[in-house]
Amino acid sequence: MGRTKNELRRSGCEVCGKDGECFEVYLGSEKHIFDCFECAMSAMLPKFAFCRCQIIGEGVQLGNAIFCSYTCANDRHVRDFETFVIMEEQSRL
């Protein structure tokens, strides 16, 4: 998993723009360049449906939406939001 200095890419991080030793992350055919894991996570982690926070690990899925916790998923406003999302998805069909 470790990389030698020859394998590290010298280019700017797409999040912070810092030049120097960066690494590449491939998502499908898309290439992303970061200088640290913090930048990579801020760019690559999904944003949760209601609170828009980003956490490492699994969330709670309710319908097609993912939430950060059971508390967030069970909030009344979240249920209203989920209904809105479902209605929006159905209107596109």
The band of 20, judged by pLDDT with boundaries at 50, 70 and 90, is confident
pLDDT at 4: 47
When the pLDDT of each residue in the chain is averaged and rounded to a whole number, the result is 78
The pTM of the whole model exceeds 0.85: no
Give Cα separations from 6 to 13, 26, 28 (angstroms).
17, 18, 24
**Above 70 in pLDDT, residue 10?**
no
Q: Where are the domains of the chain?
A: 9-44, 46-93
Mind spelling out the 3-state secondary structure of the chain? CCCCCCCCEECCCCCCCCCCEEEEEEECCEEEEECCHHHHHHHHCCCCCCCCCCCCCCCEEECCEEECCHHHHHCHHHHHHHHHHHHHHHHCC
